[in-house]
């Protein structure tokens, strides 16, 4: 364990070289599969839908982007079926061994698939990176197990939050039981979250109490979050208003709607697609068995 602080830790050049390899291999992986690398702005007017994510102001009427999600989805209207991006993302008040307010995100979208297709691709990407980097700590654990949120909660807490939603109990049990259990799992894909936690995921076609969403956890650390993407215009409006109501109730700043994205959705130009956001810094931590995010960042906040 290296100390947190202003100086570069001994041997840090090896991390810089590994990071270079990881980024190069990510691009190779997507290029081989016919993806197009795209770019979106770092300064945006609407920082998103999630009531729990706070943005960093960047001039009057602008924020540093917590995610390229809304802009990337609009690019799908151009008829490009596979897009990806490696970009910087920014979130206020995120500090600690697993958090930095500026971090590197990989986000990709593919049409004519759903969250399960993205899940398979995520596991293929991880296997590709493991093969490219000597000594990756995950090599003996693929394929990673898959469990639904319902199965995990029934196993550990005795109730199913998808069948009977109770927000306070859900998050209390997550902190007290689920999170501790996840820290003991080398790796796990957690699927089919309760419908109230859909964010911009499609509600399951088989069960209205669940949404088509998965997250990957490695040693308890959330690595990525993926959806079958919501395309219904009216439901987008309802969810944005619900997020605004939640922020108001929590006493948080109210963010403006992304009118460009809303107009895009209302025009029904968004095709059926699966999409995912993956934290590259955290993935590096998982691949190399590193417990502190500062050990994979050249310039975390403490080193500025």
Q: Give me the sheet containing 43-44, strands edge to edge.
A: 43-44, 63-64, 56-57
Residue 217 counted as domain residue: yes
Distance CA 11, CA 198 (A): 42
Count CB-CB contacts under 10 A for residue 142: 12
Predicted local confidence at residue 1, as pLDDT: 46
Count CB-CB contacts under 10 A for residue 44: 21
Range of the domain at 77: 12-145+185-303
Domains: count for the chain: 1
Residue 155 counted as domain residue: no
Count CB-CB contacts under 10 A for residue 88: 12
Report which of 58, 48, 16, 96 is spatially closest to residue 258, judged by C-alpha positions.
Answer: 48
Residue 162 counted as domain residue: no
Residue 106 counted as domain residue: yes
Residue 265 counted as domain residue: yes
Predicted local confidence at residue 175, as pLDDT: 97
Predicted local confidence at residue 4, as pLDDT: 53
The pLDDT tens digits of the residues spanning 117-136 come to 999 999 999 999 998 886 56
| CB contact set of 59 (below 8 Å; sequence gap of 6+) | 43
The pLDDT tens digits of the residues spanning 248-263 come to 999 999 898 898 998 8
Digits of tens for pLDDT over the chain (304 positions)? 455 556 888 889 999 999 999 999 999 999 999 999 999 999 999 998 788 899 999 999 999 999 999 999 999 989 999 999 999 999 998 888 899 999 999 999 999 999 999 999 999 999 999 988 865 667 677 889 999 999 999 999 999 999 999 999 999 999 999 999 999 999 999 999 999 999 999 999 999 999 999 999 999 999 999 999 999 999 999 999 999 999 999 999 989 889 899 888 888 788 999 999 999 999 999 988 899 999 999 999 888 8
Predicted local confidence at residue 3, as pLDDT: 52
Residue 159 counted as domain residue: no
Predicted local confidence at residue 112, as pLDDT: 96
- The CATH number of the domain holding residue 134 is 3.30.930.10
Residue 230 counted as domain residue: yes
End-to-end Cα, the chain, rounded Å: 20
The continuous run of DSSP H or E covering 73 comes out as helix 69-75
Residue 171 counted as domain residue: no
């Amino acid at each position: 364990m290296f100390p947190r602080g202003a100086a570069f830790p001994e041997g840090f050049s090896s991390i810089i070289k590994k990071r270079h390899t990881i980024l190069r291999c990510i691009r190779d992986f997507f290029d081989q599969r016919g993806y197009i690398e795209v770019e979106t702005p770092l300064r945006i007017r609407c920082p998103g839908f999630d009531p729990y994510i706070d943005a960093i102001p960047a001039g009057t009427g602008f924020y540093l982007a917590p995610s390229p999600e809304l802009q990337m989805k609009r690019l799908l209207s151009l008829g490009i079926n596979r897009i990806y991006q490696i970009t910087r993302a920014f979130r206020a008040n995120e500090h600690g061994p697993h958090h930095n307010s500026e971090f590197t995100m990989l986000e990709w979208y593919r049409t004519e698939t759903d969250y399960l297709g993205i899940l398979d691709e995520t596991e293929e990407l991880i296997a590709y990176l493991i093969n490219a980097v000597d000594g990756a700590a995950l090599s003996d654990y693929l394929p990673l197990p898959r469990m639904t949120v319902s199965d995990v909660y029934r196993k550990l807490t005795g109730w199913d939050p998808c069948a009977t939603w109770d927000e306070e109990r859900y998050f209390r049990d997550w902190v007290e039981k689920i999170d501790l259990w996840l820290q003991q799992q080398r790796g796990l894909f957690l699927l089919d979250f309760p419908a109230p936690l859909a964010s911009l995921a499609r509600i399951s076609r088989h069960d209205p109490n669940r949404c088509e969403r998965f997250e990957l956890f490695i040693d308890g650390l959330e690595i990525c979050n993926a959806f079958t993407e919501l395309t219904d215009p009216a439901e987008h409006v309802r969810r944005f208003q619900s997020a605004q109501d939640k922020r108001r109730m929590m006493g948080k700043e109210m963010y403006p709607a992304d009118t460009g994205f809303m107009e895009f959705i209302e025009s029904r130009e968004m095709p059926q697609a699966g999409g995912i956001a993956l934290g590259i810094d955290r993935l590096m931590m998982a691949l190399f068995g590193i417990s502190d995010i500062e050990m994979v960042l050249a310039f975390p906040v403490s080193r500025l």
